[in-house]
Amino acid sequence: MKTLIIGSRRSELAQTQSYYIRQRLLDQWPDLTVELNLFDTQGDLNRHDPLPAIGGKGLFTLELENALRERRIDLAVHSLKDLPVEDGPGLSVIAIPEREATNDVLVSRVAARLEDLPAGAVVGTSSLRRAAQFLALRPDLRVKDIRGNVDTRLRKLDDPEWGYDAIILAQAGLNRLGHADLSHAHPIPAETILPAPGQGALGVQGRADDPETTHYLQPLDHAQTRAAVTAERAFLAGLGGGCSLPVGALATCQDNRLYLTACVGQARGEHLIRLQTEGSLEEAALLGRQLANQALAQGAQALLEYHELASAKQNGSAPSRAAEKKR
């Protein structure tokens, strides 16, 4: 009897996602044995500092990827938006199941829409992408960093001592944790805030030289979801960026056509570039790269360099030579 070991972060959401993949595997292969091995990642251990300040590739994935290479686990389940756009050495995203909801939600007892929040309201988010987009719409709002798992953030919202009027979360995470019917969670349309590239999708990562695990995982892969997230992540890769940048992207599929909308913003909302394109599903990666080139031609490079300079100043590190030249 074959046994597969799944590596998972220790958080409730990560375990929920890993048990979902475990059940999908058992439904497909009843004679399989699937076990979980839990890990603490750098992103989980530091719950206090803002994500951009401690960010970089591998913030939530490095420990799992090392365990894969060392053959302590056979596969790792990630929120795809947390995975670097480039595969780590010797690794591959073997399966991308059909994605959950892609949108963000405004969780607030004050208003049901960002547009209706009172002037100067405090919005909790650790995402530069979200801040860049809602500040472009409502520059009067105040951003306050918030960390912790979903339940911790919901408690902070309801505790007046933290001072939040609203927080922004991913719909997919609420759904997976059983909060789909939360009465004060209000969906945010993509026209207002585009999601992170790959948001709502899971990436099941394995070793590139492990055909047996690939064989077991292949039936879980969803072709349209893979095409959509491929376009979104190709846009991000074309900008040379990571998951902490103020970049949003959403691709949808209809009748073998793929429709991609993306944006690049300044974290303080002072400038936002938004673009659209479409093509066949087979062109997913090409469409993402082409849209990234269009964004760069419209000034996205300056926005990203501004972000890099600001992050370097905040972290006390040296900016890249390219960014330094723009000062």
- Taking CA atoms, 190 is separated from 69, 163, 195, 200, 248, in Å, by 37, 27, 7, 13, 10
Q: 265: part of which helix (H) or strand (E)?
A: strand 257-265
Return the structure tokens found at 29: 């292969």
Strands 166-170 and 104-107: antiparallel
Q: Tally Cβ neighbours within 10 Å of residue 86.
A: 10
Structure-token match 């998972």, residue found: 8
Distance CA 3, CA 6 (A): 10
CB 8 within 8 A of CB 18: yes
Distance CA 259, CA 78 (A): 25
CB 39 within 8 A of CB 10: yes
151 has catalytic annotation: no
CB 295 within 8 A of CB 236: no
User: What is residue 204's three-state secondary structure?
Assistant: strand
The residue annotated as part of the active site, out of 74, 82, 104, 210, is 82
Q: Is the dihedral of CA 317, 318, 322, 327 positive or negative?
A: positive
CB 302 within 8 A of CB 290: no
Catalytic positions are 82
